[in-house]
C-alpha cells in the first residue's frame, strides 16, 4: 500500500511577546523574540491552529492601552 501523504517541510507555531502568532520551520532555530507555542506539523495544521487561537489580532500592548483608556473613561 502506497503512502498517500505528501511529505513536506514540518513547521511549528511560534508566538512573540506581543502575543502575535506565526509559523517557522521546525528544523531551524527560532528567530529572536519568538517562542515555540507547542504545535508542530504541516503548514496547514499550523495555520489551522493559529486560526483557532488567535482571535484578536491586536498586539498585546495595544489591547492593554485600550483597556486602560476604557477604564479611565469609565471613572
Which domains does the chain carry? 11-74 (3.90.820.10)
**Count of alpha carbons within 13 angstroms of residue 23, beta-carbon side:** 18
The partner residues of 7 in beta bridges, in order of sequence, read none
The tens digit of pLDDT for each residue in 4-63 reads 455 789 999 999 999 999 999 999 999 999 999 999 999 999 999 999 999 998 999 999
Order of strands across the sheet with 34-41?
A: 21-25, 11-16, 34-41
Q: How far apart are CA 2 and CA 23, in angstroms?
A: 29
Q: How far apart are CA 13 and CA 44, in angstroms?
A: 11
Structural contact between residues 70 and 48, judged by C-beta atoms closer than 8 angstroms: no
The tens digit of pLDDT for each residue in 50-74 reads 999 999 989 999 999 999 999 899 9
Amino acid at each position: 500500500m502506497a503512502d498517500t501523504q505528501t511529505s513536506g517541510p514540518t513547521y511549528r507555531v511560534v508566538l512573540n511577546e506581543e502575543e502575535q502568532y506565526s509559523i517557522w520551520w521546525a528544523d531551524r532555530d527560532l528567530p529572536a523574540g519568538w517562542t515555540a507555542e507547542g504545535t508542530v506539523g504541516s503548514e496547514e495544521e499550523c495555520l489551522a491552529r493559529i486560526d483557532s487561537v488567535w482571535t484578536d489580532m491586536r498586539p498585546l500592548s495595544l489591547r492593554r492601552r485600550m483597556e486602560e483608556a476604557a477604564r479611565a473613561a469609565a471613572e
